[in-house]
Amino acid sequence: MKLLSVFRKSVREQKRDLWVIGLSLAFAPLFVLIYWLMTGATGSTSYGVLVINHDQPLGQYSAGAEVVAALRGLTYQNGAPLLKVSEATERAEAETRLRNREAAALVILPENFSQTMSAYRAGDTSARADIIFSGDLTNPTYTVAAVMAMTAADNYVRAQTQADYPVNLIEIPLGASAARTEFENYVPGLLVLAVVLVVFQAAMSPARDIESGAMKRLHLTRLSAFDYLGGTTLWLALVSLLAVLLTFATAVACGFRSQGPLWLAILVAALTSLSIIGIGLMVACFSKTVAQAFVIANFPLGFLMFLTGAAFPLPRYNLFTVFGHGFALPDLLPPTHAVVALNKIFTLGAGLGDVAFELAALTVLTLAYFGAGVWLFQRTQM
C-alpha cells in the first residue's frame, strides 16, 4: 500500500535526524522533572526561614526555643516540613543570606520574650515584646514563609497567655522591596529572558554556514575555530546588548525604577549573554541544519528559563559552600546568578561589591561555556 510506503519513507528520513525526534520526545518529560523540582522533589516545598533568638530564658522556661520548635513543627499532611528553619547569630549575615535568596524570611525573637510571656500569664497585661519579621517582599516565597512563621508565633503566644496581642508582630522590609510595584517585580526575569533568547541566534548562525556549505569554504582559508566563533560572538553580543537595552527602556517607559546603578545591571546582562552565546555555540556543534539547531536549542532553553529562578522560584538544595555562598546544581546555569544579581541591584540598591560573587560566577561560567564551544566546534566542524 502507498500509505505504508510513505510511512517507511518517513521512518528512514527520521533515522537521519535522531536529535530532533529524541528531543521532541524528551521535552515534555523535562517539564515534568522541572515541576517535580519546583515542588521540592517530594511534592512539598519547604520555605527557608532564618531565626535569630535573642530570648533570655527564665529558669527552665524558654519561650524563644519553644517558638523555634513550633516553626519546625509546621508540616504538610504527609509529614514533610513546611519551613526549613536555620538559626543565625548576626543580623547582617542573615540579611546577606536573604539578599542572596538562600532563605525567604528572617524572624528575630527579642531578649524579653520569655519574661513577657511569664509576666502576662501572671496577670501583668502591660508587658509587651516585639517579634520582628524581615525579608525581600519581591521574593515570591517570602509572603508564604512569613505568613506561616507569623501564624506559628501568634498561635504559640495565644496558647501561652490566653490573650490577644501580648506580642507585637512587626514586619521590616528588606531594602526598598516594600515600595516595588507588581510590574517592577517581573522586570529582572524579563531582562534575563531577553538574554536567554539569544541562544537561538547563537545556535542558528553557525548552523546556517554549515548547511549552506560556507563553513567548508571558510575552512579552506585556514580559519581557526576561535577566530570564527570570536567574530560570531561579537555580533551576537551586540544583538544581545541591544535586546537588553530595548527591554530595559520599555520597562522604564512603563514606570520601572531601579534602586541601584543601571550600568551594573547592564554589565550583569552582558556577562550573562556571553555565557548563553557559548551554550548556543555548543548546540551548533551538533546541528547540520538551521531547523535542527532551532529544535535542539529549545532543550537548553527549558533549563535556562525554568531551573534558574528566571520564570519561577525554585527551592535550593545546596551541596557545599563556596566563599560563604551555598552551591546548588542550578548554579551551573548563568541565569541563576543573573536573577539574584539583578534583584539585588533593582530592588535592594546593591553596588558592585554586593554582586561581586555573582559577577565572578558569571565570568567563570562564560569562560567555561565559551571554551567548551570553541573546543567542540574545532573537533566537530573544523
Domain total in the chain: 2
- With respect to residue 65, please indicate whether it lies within any of the assigned structural domains: yes
- Specify the pLDDT at position 360: 93
Same domain, 130 and 74: yes
Torsion from C-alpha of 304, 306, 309, 313, nearest 10 degrees: -170
Q: What pTM was estimated for this model as a whole? A: 0.74
- Specify the pLDDT at position 14: 65
Same domain, 175 and 298: no
- With respect to residue 16, please indicate whether it lies within any of the assigned structural domains: no
- Specify the pLDDT at position 68: 92
In this structure, are residues 266 and 244 in contact, taking their beta carbons and an 8 Å threshold?
yes
Q: Dig out the grid coordinates for 60 from the structure.
A: 527552665
In this structure, are residues 246 and 209 in contact, taking their beta carbons and an 8 Å threshold?
no
Q: Tens-digit pLDDT profile for the chain (382 aa)?
A: 667 766 776 677 667 667 667 766 766 777 677 666 655 555 567 888 999 999 999 888 899 999 999 999 988 877 788 888 999 989 988 998 888 888 889 999 999 999 988 888 887 777 788 899 998 888 878 888 888 888 888 888 888 877 666 788 888 888 777 777 778 877 888 888 888 888 888 888 888 887 887 777 767 777 776 777 778 888 888 888 888 888 888 888 888 888 889 889 989 988 898 889 889 888 888 887 888 888 888 888 888 887 777 766 666 777 777 777 778 788 888 988 998 898 889 888 888 888 999 999 999 998 998 888 888 877 777 6
Same domain, 351 and 219: yes
Q: Which of 115, 146, 179 is the last residue before a domain boundary?
A: 179
Q: Which of 145, 179, 213 is the last residue before a domain boundary?
A: 179
**CATH at 125:** 3.40.1710
Full domain range(s) for residue 79? 47-179
Strands 105-109, 129-135: pairing is antiparallel
- Per the listing, cell 510513505 goes with 6
Same domain, 192 and 56: no
Same domain, 143 and 51: yes
Q: Which of 163, 179, 195 is the last residue before a domain boundary?
A: 179
- Specify the pLDDT at position 202: 87
